[in-house]
């Protein structure tokens, strides 16, 4: 079972999450983190919920977080400087941190552009980065992360928009959620301490799922199909079409899947 005391035992002094807010049930950790950020909470403040009753993914989609089966948390960051062009990078550091924590457990994880983490080509985690801007400068950035630790955290097929799995299913053994959270936070702390978009993009591209494969992308009332060749300078998807043309597609409102993914 998660508890505030147990989580604090896994978080070193001075690390991200030292200022911890834990609730057995919340509507949304990102919403609670935003309230705290607007009230002046310090950099690195962590909100964790064992259950979310109205968890959110991209574009207002729901994120399923039943009690006792998942990780659902949000971190408030106060970067010294950041621009709206870098928001994709903040999403990426959340996904990369999950990948690195899963790799420590012996699982090979990839990033499905723009904000999901995959194990065995199935979604195991999602990242939602949100920011408050003062002109072109971020007042704060919130990185929300949800991880399907146990199979009970995977929604039923009628509500899935992409095939999903859980950490324990892929590893074939139980996983301590508090320990996994600590590992993700440690990786996130390393990325955010010296955030440089160019370095993030290099690591993101190296971890990119389906690179070199034919993918289908939909968004803004249009659809494209082509070979995923990499990322653009702001984290856009670089897609090479059959006619040889290259497109850069922004992450906003875009949805990607490999053409061979089959039914959910």
| pLDDT of 81 higher than 70 | yes
Question: How confident is the prediction for the chain on average, in pLDDT?
Answer: 92
Q: Is the peptide bond before 209 cis (omega within 30 degrees of 0)?
A: no
Instruction: Give the chain's end-to-end CA distance (angstroms, integer).
Output: 31
pLDDT category at 264 given cuts 50, 70, 90 is very low
What is the rounded distance in angstroms from the CA atom of residue 254 to the CA atom of residue 58? Answer: 10
Q: pLDDT by residue (tens digit) across 90-113?
A: 999 999 999 999 999 999 999 999
| pLDDT of 29 higher than 70 | yes
**Residue 240, number of CB atoms within 10 A of its CB:** 16
pLDDT of residue 82: 76
pLDDT of residue 263: 46
Give me the sign of the Cα torsion angle 200, 203, 205, 208. Answer: negative
Percent of the chain as helix, strand, coil, to the nearest 5: 30, 35, 35
Q: pLDDT by residue (tens digit) across 194-238?
A: 889 999 999 999 999 999 999 999 998 899 999 999 999 999 999
**Residue 120, number of CB atoms within 10 A of its CB:** 13
Could you give the dihedral angle defined by the CA atoms of residues 187, 137, 201 and 70, in that order, rounded to the nearest 10 degrees?
A: 40
Given the DSSP bridges, would you call strands 122-134 and 20-26 parallel, antiparallel or unpaired?
A: unpaired
Domains defined for the chain, CATH in brackets: 4-206 (3.30.930.10), 214-258 (2.30.30.100)
pLDDT of residue 59: 65
Q: Are 134 and 141 in contact (CB under 8 A)?
A: no
Q: Are 63 and 171 in contact (CB under 8 A)?
A: no
């Amino acid at each position: 079972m998660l508890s505030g005391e147990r989580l604090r035992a896994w978080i070193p002094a001075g690390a991200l999450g030292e200022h911890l807010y834990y609730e057995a049930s919340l509507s949304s950790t990102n919403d609670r983190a935003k309230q705290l950020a607007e009230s002046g909470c310090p950099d690195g403040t962590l909100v964790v919920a064992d259950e979310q009753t109205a968890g959110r993914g991209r574009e207002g989609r729901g994120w399923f977080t039943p009690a006792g089966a998942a990780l659902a948390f949000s971190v408030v960051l106060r970067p010294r400087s950041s621009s709206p062009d870098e928001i994709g990078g903040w999403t990426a550091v959340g996904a990369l941190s999950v990948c690195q924590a899963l790799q420590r457990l012996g699982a090979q994880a990839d990033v499905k552009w723009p904000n999901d983490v995959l194990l065995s080509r199935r979604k195991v985690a999602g990242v939602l980065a949100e920011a408050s801007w003062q002109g072109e400068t971020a007042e704060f950035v919130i990185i929300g992360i949800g991880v399907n630790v146990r199979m009970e955290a995977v929604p039923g097929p009628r509500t899935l928009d992409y095939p999903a799995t859980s950490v324990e299913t892929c590893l074939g053994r139980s996983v301590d959620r508090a320990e996994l959270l600590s590992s993700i936070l440690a990786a996130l702390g390393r990325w955010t301490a010296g955030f440089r978009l160019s370095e993030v993009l290099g690591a993101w591209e190296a971890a990119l799922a389906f690179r070199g494969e034919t993918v289908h992308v939909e968004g803004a009332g249009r659809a494209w199909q082509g070979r995923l060749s990499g990322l653009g300078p702001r984290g856009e998807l670089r897609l090479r079409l059959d006619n040889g043309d290259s497109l850069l597609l922004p992450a906003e409102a875009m949805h990607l899947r490999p053409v061979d993914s089959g039914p959910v």
